[in-house]
Amino acid sequence: MKLFKSLLVAPATLGLLAPVAATANEVTINDFNAAEEIAVTNSRIDGLEARFNNLEAGSFSETTTASFGVDFLVGAEDGAASEAAAFGYQMGIGLETSFTGEDALSATIDIGDGTSGALAFDDTADVLTLDGLTYTFPVGGATVMVGDSTDISALYTGACAYSSFTDYMGNCGTGSTVGVGGNGVTAAMSYGFDSGFSLAGGVSSETESILTEEGSDLFGIEAAYTADSYGVAVAYSDSEGTTGWGINGMYAFDFATLSAGIESVDDGTTAEGFFVGLSFPEVGPGSLDIGMGTTGNFADGDEEYYTYEASYAYPINDGVTITPGVYIIEQDGDDVTGVALKTSFSF
């Protein structure tokens, strides 16, 4: 019997024995049948244990897990609309359970203060927001995912090893293709080959108008190859006639990892952008990332603007990491120069 059960059963047993002890001076030894009283007591204990087991059966599954992440941000920008130092935060809650050991029901909940600028967190304005609700399960050798408020690229392999500090560097500059999002309800599938190749694709539609002419639909597909020291991913996306191609890749040298990406989007006019970055995994006790790229996709003849950034991630312990960083964002007018310190907690 488990300790917690014993703690529950012990008072019940004492309660049963107390009346016997209280009236012991009123009965003779012949009136007291020890075997019968013990049998009654054991019967009541068994009943209590059965009810406790039913309580355990209705509690959380042993396969249910919860994870939490919190980011605090303090920073200031020169050349922005406001140059005052500012504070921001975001928190993410991940819940996951499995029913067969091979499937996963997952929910992601976010809350933040809507910090604006190049380091913008999710604009949830201090309100808990469902950022993804999915069910993932195997079909043959493939993995299938269905859900709401999630990205098609959630099943993509990708090949970007760079840890971005600003939004512009996310997904190695291929956020519309290799990092394609979703419009609402999403269905996706991926398959990984033993050789290192993988294929993935999916469709996402507005929840109130799935795959209809009235609604907005998004399609995406990716092919990737990953090895121990290098990888490459190619993706295509189509959103109501706006198509995009993107490629990102990485190569790990002995001292650093090179990541790069290029993307082209055509909505009647072709616009392109690129990214390149270096990640140094062992610089003192932490890691250093340096990158540059376009601030978006630009059409031929348009003036291009670039972003430059550098950040250093220092793990204080297994659950806390501080990351100071600096960045420059070119724009029409004065460039924006920023400095910030992000403190991340995971538990």
CATH superfamily, domain 65-346, is Porin (2.40.160.10)
Q: What is the pLDDT of residues 15-40, one digit of tens each?
A: 433 443 444 444 333 444 555 656 55
Task: Spell out the SS3 assignment of 289-321.
Answer: EEEEEECCCEECCCCCCEEEEEEEEEECCCCEE
- Rounded to 5°, the CA angle 159-163-165 comes to 140
Minimal CA–CA distance to 221: which of 248, 260, 183, 190? Answer: 190
Is the pLDDT assigned to residue 8 strictly greater than 70? no
Angle between helices 3-22 and 34-57 (to 10 degrees): 150
Q: What is the pLDDT of residue 1?
A: 39
Owner of token pair 């991926």: 190
Between 57-61, 211-215, 240-244, the lowest mean confidence (pLDDT) is in: 57-61
Is the pLDDT assigned to residue 126 strictly greater than 90? no
Q: What is the pLDDT of residue 119?
A: 61
Q: What is the pLDDT of residues 278-288, one digit of tens each?
A: 999 999 999 99
Which amino acid is residue 28, in one-letter code?
T
Rounded to an integer, the average pLDDT of 257-271 is: 97
Rounded to an integer, the average pLDDT of 95-121 is: 83
Rounded to an integer, the average pLDDT of 49-61 is: 55
- d(CA 72, CA 320) in angstroms, rounded, equals 11
Q: What is the pLDDT of residue 123?
A: 54
Helix (H/G/I), strand (E/B), else coil: 64: coil
- d(CA 212, CA 206) in angstroms, rounded, equals 9
Residue extent(s) of CATH 2.40.160.10 domains in the chain: 65-346
Cα distances (Å, whole numbers) of residue 222 to 33, 191, 201? 78, 11, 6
Which pTM does this prediction carry? 0.77
Q: What is the pLDDT of residues 180-212, one digit of tens each?
A: 999 889 999 999 999 999 999 999 999 888 988
Q: What is the pLDDT of residue 212?
A: 87
Rounded to an integer, the average pLDDT of 70-78 is: 91
DSSP 122-137: ---TTS-EEEEEEEEE
Q: What is the pLDDT of residues 324-341, one digit of tens each?
A: 999 999 999 889 999 999
Rounded to an integer, the average pLDDT of 134-149 is: 96
Is the pLDDT assigned to residue 11 strictly greater than 70? no
- Across the chain, what does the average pLDDT equal? 85
Q: How many CA atoms lie within 13 A of 23 on its CB side?
A: 7
Q: What is the pLDDT of residue 157?
A: 96
Is the pLDDT assigned to residue 247 strictly greater than 70? yes
Q: What is the pLDDT of residue 18?
A: 41
